[in-house]
Structure 1
Amino acid sequence: MRDVHLAIDLGASSGRVIAGYLNDKGMLELEDVHRFANDPLMIQDSLQWNIDALWVEILEGLRLAAGRFENIRSVGVDTWGVDYVLIDRNGQIAGPVRHYRDARNNGVIEKACEALGGPEQGRDKIFSATGLQFLQINSLIQLYSSVINKECCIEIAEHFLMMGDYFHWLLSGKYSIEATNASTSQMLDPRTKTWATDLQESLSIPTKMFQDVTAPGTVLGPVQPSVATATGLQEVPVIVPATHDTASAVLAVPAEGFAKEKPDWCFISSGTWSLMGCELASPKITPLCSELNFTNEGGVAGSTRLLKNIGGLWVFQQLRKSMTRRGETPSWESMVQDAAAATPFEIILDPDHPELAAPDDMLTAIERVAEQTGQNKPASVGTAYRAALECLALRYRACLGMLEQLIESPIKTIHIVGGGTQNELLCQMTADACNRTVIAGPVEATAIGNVAMQMIGLQELTAEQTKQAIETSRELVRNSFAVKTFQPQEPQAWNEPYERFQQWYC
């Protein structure tokens, strides 16, 4: 009878419950159990997560799994970063669960820095304490927005839970704050793995909400009785994976070695967001890292993910919604085909341009950016599709150069994992723009990493044994899942467009 591990993988637009197990050949296999949408709600001009709907879907997925598999050994949750739930002393949600794109965050970075002594001094204090990239979506900025808006939820909160922690609490009844997701908050010291309480107190953020962080692989205990009754899962342990989806995805990168000081490969976790970086043994909290606006996020077994958050496939995805509003709903395949047929480099965009962050209509926003930069508007929708992919490859090229500066070593191979690996046009563009070998896959890297960490957690290993188990897990991934290699074909064609990209956006 095979041992089955259930990965609850929640992304910013969808969620799923996936079963993972070793097949008769000793290869890791995944099986879809339940998929569902994750659609935010606009409530009184506030963008919020519908966490009750997510919980209903999670329970349904677990119920289906219990009916399909006999020997379920564990369950764990991974989610996106930065967002959180505040819980009051009665064990109830203290206030709205805001979406990271909620407009209340606009301009709050500047206000936080001003409260810490001014633009430069404030940024220096935050970066030296946390080593994190400045983004207005970060938990620190969201919480400071609650402070300056005098929201009662932050006054009555007893527990701060990031999204994965919240669902682990519902599953097990145990409070925890998992380390990799906590590291996305801009409130954790990446050197000590403890909360930067001086920074929190300087911004009037109550520190009583924050308990010590929990390491990936920790067993919280069995599912609580109400969950067992609703799902049929009896005495199944809840094991904390790397709850930040990118940390789980990086665990599943099919590379050799773990957390080297000078790695010769980097990763891109490709989806709505792209996170591009290197896995290191220790953080790099340096003036150059701050200048380049890179982030030191936590990885498994105490490693550091030195990375940059990039707009990702967001622009491409939102273009599909733009076309739906115009009476068409193109398939993803047809969009890629139209992009491939369009003339290269007609428009140069930046996936991180503020105009493209949360527009009412993406196609209209692209036309505005083109006008602002003295470019022609898209001659066709295919031109817009292509520009959305080309700009990502160009941003990857810029990020690659910065990474090599930071680690002081050349990077030979780019590993792309996640849903974006299915866009082979983008993978080839990345190989050409960066003039590097690209290895794409596995697609389901986050779920694979989630399952792998649960398997490691059940073994109750020492820290050194855990590092060895991670290398063994990567070998299992290499032996279990197919990847596709893309070699540079026309790298020289990207030089002139990259000069334009640098001129306008860097």
Structure 2
Amino acid sequence: MKKYSLAVDIGASSGRLVLGSLEKGRLELQEIHRFSNEIIEKNGHFCWNIEALFEEVKTGIKKCGSLGIVPSSIGIDTWAVDFVLLDERDQLLTDAVAYRDPRTDGIMEEVTGIFMKERLYLETGIQFQKFNTIYQLYALKKQQPEILEKAKSFLMIPDYLHFLLTGKKTNEYTNATSTQLINAFTRKWDKDIIQTLGFDIHMFQEIEAPKAVLGPIKEELAREFGFGMDVILPATHDTGSAVLAVPQVEDTIYISSGTWSLIGVENYFPICVTKALDYNFTNEGGMDYQFRFLKNIMGLWMIQEIRRNYENRYSFAELAELAEAVTGMVPVVNVDAPRFLKPDDMVAEIQAYCLETGQKAPESPGEVAKCIFVSLADSYQRAVFEIEDIFEKEFKSISVIGGGSKNELLNQLIAETTKKEVYAGPTEASAIGNLVAQLIALNEIAGIKEARHIVRQSFEVKKYRHSISEKQGGIV
């Protein structure tokens, strides 16, 4: 009888439930349920609708039952840094405030005035971004101190969803590292940082690593679904899961391409040197305590936003086609400028940036889209240079995984800009990595090395070459 595991993969714009099973050495996927995820305005903040997200998870599980499929296990991954706080009765004290909320404006500078920036990086190895959990918590301490005083439990978004499934509270390692509160060397909560900033160390949970079995879902949920299953922790940070689906890691830089672009390499130890700090790279935790040495770059969020600005008249594929039809030079913007994090009008913001920097503003939807794609490729190229400078070696290729791997124009621009071979795929990388962790825990896969072999056998990868290669451009 075929065994199934169920991956719940929720990104910043959409979520999906994907069944996975092994068949003759190949990983077979079956998407069961897909839903949108949007930031809402609630109680004066930009928030995630956490209650609706859990209902979508339940809907997907019930669809498995309607198909006569009973998964052996389930695991949830989401984006990083965001959290909820619970009181002594395990009731929500906070909304699931989104990282794009402006409550952290100016907070990072205050925190680094208390805890020296260089020391914070030396201990945590985490990239400085204004929305990191550490700054969200400090903003809460300043703006609503009574909430922090009542807080008994700190749970990140996937931790909370796992809690709703099992009643068990834990903080999963890969996502916890994104808080900038985990010591990169001990892999535990950094009590010195936490106590210096006046947070209650007791609200943080025990750190659990990917592959940990939390146990069965609640009995009342098993009755509601008509079946039970175990909850197994994947790398709950979606990028941590996605990197497990990189088919080949030797001499390869990966780009996990979605709402955000995460560009980096796998490493066996944290790199907390001055040059890494100056380049603002991060050392996020991975499965089996590997490190994802990477930089967080504004990704296809900008395309998602201009599509919204154009009232969804164009699909993402149509915007790429319009961009490809644009000839000649287009302006380049700094995609990581804070002004692009959540502007009222992304199109207007891009045009204003171009005019302010002495460039001709893009006008048509195709010009705006191509400006974004070219600017992303330019940002990737700078990150590649920085990675090679830090490691003092040249990497031969780039692996693009995630939803952005379907964007042929962007993939070719990456090849042209970096002068490297680009391998694109698999698309559902986070779901695949989520399933890999569960299958390893269930002894269906021996480990990461075998998992990557299975990924290579199971999913199509397209190759892109730059125009000065032996073969001219395009997909080969």
Helix, strand or coil for the counterpart of 1:184? helix
Structure 1 residue 385: deviation in Å?
A: 0.7
On the 8 A contact 2:123/2:185 being kept in 1, the answer is no
Distance 2:442 2:65 in 1: 19
Distance 2:171 2:412 in 1: 38
Distance 1:364 1:5 in 2: 45
Structure 1 residue 490: deviation in Å?
A: 5.5
Structure 1 residue 190: deviation in Å?
A: 1.4
On the 8 A contact 1:268/1:417 being kept in 2, the answer is yes
Structure 1 residue 362: deviation in Å?
A: 0.8
Matched, 1:310 2:301: no
Matched, 1:34 2:33: yes
Distance 1:7 1:85 in 2: 22
Structure 1 residue 13: deviation in Å?
A: 1.2
Distance 2:370 2:158 in 1: 35
Distance 1:151 1:338 in 2: 49
From 289, 307, 322, the equivalent of 2:276 is 289
Helix, strand or coil for the counterpart of 1:447? helix
Distance 1:267 1:293 in 2: 17
Helix, strand or coil for the counterpart of 1:420? helix
Helix, strand or coil for the counterpart of 2:25? coil
Amino acid corresponding to residue 220 of structure 1 in structure 2: L
Task: Tell me which residue corresponds to 1:210.
Answer: 204
Structure 1 residue 20: deviation in Å?
A: 0.5
Task: Tell me which residue corresponds to 2:243.
Answer: 250
Helix, strand or coil for the counterpart of 2:270? coil
Distance 1:343 1:352 in 2: 25
Matched, 1:475 2:453: yes
Task: Tell me which residue corresponds to 2:54.
Answer: 55
Distance 1:114 1:213 in 2: 28
Distance 1:295 1:226 in 2: 41
Distance 2:25 2:385 in 1: 39
Task: Tell me which residue corresponds to 1:444.
Answer: 428
Task: Tell me which residue corresponds to 1:87.
Answer: 86
Distance 2:12 2:220 in 1: 27
Distance 1:441 1:381 in 2: 27
Distance 1:371 1:8 in 2: 43
Distance 2:6 2:268 in 1: 29
**Which runs of 4 or more aligned residues in structure 1 lie more than 4 Å from their structure 2 counterparts after TM superposition?**
none
Task: Tell me which residue corresponds to 2:7.
Answer: 7
Distance 1:111 1:71 in 2: 50
Matched, 1:393 2:386: no
On the 8 A contact 1:33/1:61 being kept in 2, the answer is yes
Amino acid corresponding to residue 397 of structure 2 in structure 1: T
Task: Tell me which residue corresponds to 1:420.
Answer: 404
Matched, 1:224 2:202: no
| TM-score normalised by L of structure 2 | 0.96
Which runs of 5 or more residues in structure 2 are unaligned? 470-476
Distance 1:344 1:177 in 2: 50
Helix, strand or coil for the counterpart of 1:127? helix
Q: Map residues 362-377 of structure 1 onto 2, 5 A cutoff.
A: 362-377=346-361
Task: Tell me which residue corresponds to 1:143.
Answer: 137
Distance 2:200 2:328 in 1: 52
Q: Could you list the per-position Cα deviations for residues 110-159 of structure 1 after superposition, in whole angstroms to 9, with x for gaps in the alignment?
A: 1111233xxxxx21122122111000110001001011113322111111
CA RMSD in angstroms, aligned pairs only: 1.4
Helix, strand or coil for the counterpart of 1:211? coil
Task: Tell me which residue corresponds to 1:382.
Answer: 366
Matched, 1:133 2:102: no
On the 8 A contact 2:426/2:459 being kept in 1, the answer is yes
Q: Could you list the per-position Cα deviations for residues 324-350 of structure 1 after superposition, in whole angstroms to 9, with x for gaps in the alignment?
A: 1xxx61122221111011134321112
Amino acid corresponding to residue 236 of structure 2 in structure 1: T
| TM-score normalised by L of structure 1 | 0.90
Amino acid corresponding to residue 455 of structure 2 in structure 1: V
Structure 1 residue 71: deviation in Å?
A: 4.1
Task: Tell me which residue corresponds to 1:112.
Answer: 111
On the 8 A contact 1:131/1:190 being kept in 2, the answer is yes
On the 8 A contact 1:27/1:479 being kept in 2, the answer is yes
On the 8 A contact 2:70/2:227 being kept in 1, the answer is no
Structure 1 residue 203: deviation in Å?
A: 1.1
Task: Tell me which residue corresponds to 1:280.
Answer: 267
Amino acid corresponding to residue 240 of structure 1 in structure 2: L
From 158, 164, 168, the equivalent of 2:162 is 168
Helix, strand or coil for the counterpart of 2:58? helix
Helix, strand or coil for the counterpart of 1:15? strand
Distance 2:69 2:381 in 1: 48
Helix, strand or coil for the counterpart of 1:22? strand
Matched, 1:153 2:147: yes
Structure 1 residue 26: deviation in Å?
A: 3.1
On the 8 A contact 1:20/1:451 being kept in 2, the answer is yes
Amino acid corresponding to residue 36 of structure 2 in structure 1: A
Amino acid corresponding to residue 225 of structure 2 in structure 1: T
Helix, strand or coil for the counterpart of 2:136? helix
Greater mean deviation of Cα atoms: 86-95 or 73-82: 86-95
Structure 1 residue 104: deviation in Å?
A: 0.4
Matched, 1:301 2:284: no
